[in-house]
Amino acid sequence: MEISGHVALVTGAASGIGAAVARQLAAAGARVVVADVQDDKGRALADEVGGSFAHVDVTDTSQIVEAVDQAASLGELRIAVNSAGIGPAARTVGRDGTYESAHDLELYKKVIAINLIGTFDMVRIAGTAMSRLDPLASGERGAIVNLASVAAFDGQIGQAAYSSSKGGIVGMTLPVARDLAAIGVRVNTVAPGLIDTPIYGEGEQAEGFKARLGESVLFPKRLGVPDELASMVLECVRNSYMNAAVVRVDGGIRMPPK
């Protein structure tokens, strides 16, 4: 599917992988709606790429609807990328054997609400908007790409909530793609490995930590960069035969228990 001339909505777009996706989509000719809870960073990126900003907390359906309507008002919304997410770590059972030290259930629910339910909510609302468009010559009306993680397959100690949420995204890829085939909308999932994003911090200590992490990657022995993930997202949009797929972009890493 051609990217140029269409509108793209990207959640979690103010930083990291989402920002790289927004920049590459804009460079390919899309009008990008940068959707995020980080207003200052989001507006700055929207200005940079010649797009527009939408404040979106993906746990709020009304904000998702407003962002989709905003995107649809700019042209044909044919591309949606779900990159919003959080990844706190906590053990399932605490070390002292008390119920109070067990994994905070509200934290678990929060991770699922943002990463999984927020992704599905955007898929169903953006997909509905796409269903109203005329099909392209290829028969397509749109393409949706969700961001999961290798933690969906190789979850580490402390990643019960995160892995559950990303495993849910992987698990819904095929059934949602089957649902949306009826309206000509493709759905794919990209699962990043260890990616160099602001989550690791800055400075000499952070760089040393990232270098040690990179040694665990099969090849190349380094962390990935957001642009490498973004290019795969764009391929999932461009390639009209990519559908219902989950693609690992991870340098061949298989995560150890910890």
DSSP conformation letters of 157-184:
TTBHHHHHHHHHHHHHHHHHHHHHGGGT
- Give the predicted TM-score (pTM) of the model: 0.96
Residues marked active site are found at: 162
| Within a domain: 84 | yes
d(CA 203, CA 207): 6
Total number of domains constituting the chain: 1
Q: Is 226 helix (H, G, I), strand (E, B) or coil?
A: helix
| Within a domain: 1 | no
| Within a domain: 258 | no
d(CA 251, CA 245): 18
d(CA 10, CA 54): 10
d(CA 77, CA 200): 34
Taking CA atoms, 96 is separated from 92, 106, 107, in Å, by 12, 20, 19
| Within a domain: 256 | no
| Within a domain: 2 | no
Instruction: Quickly tell me which residue has 């690992």 as its tokens.
Output: 248
Asked if 146 and 173 count as a contact pair (C-beta separation under 8 A), the reply is yes
| Within a domain: 67 | yes
End-to-end C-alpha distance for the chain, whole angstroms: 40
Give the model's pLDDT for residue 199.
73
**pLDDT one-digit tens code per residue, 202-223:** 888 889 888 998 999 999 999 9
| Within a domain: 195 | yes
Check whether 135 has a pLDDT greater than 90. Answer: yes
* Residue type, position 118, single letter: G
| Within a domain: 257 | no
CATH number where 139 lies: 3.40.50.720
**Residue 146: which domain range?**
7-249
Structure tokens, 236: 């999932």
Q: Tell me the pLDDT band of 182, cut-offs 50, 70 and 90.
A: very high
Give the model's pLDDT for residue 45.
98
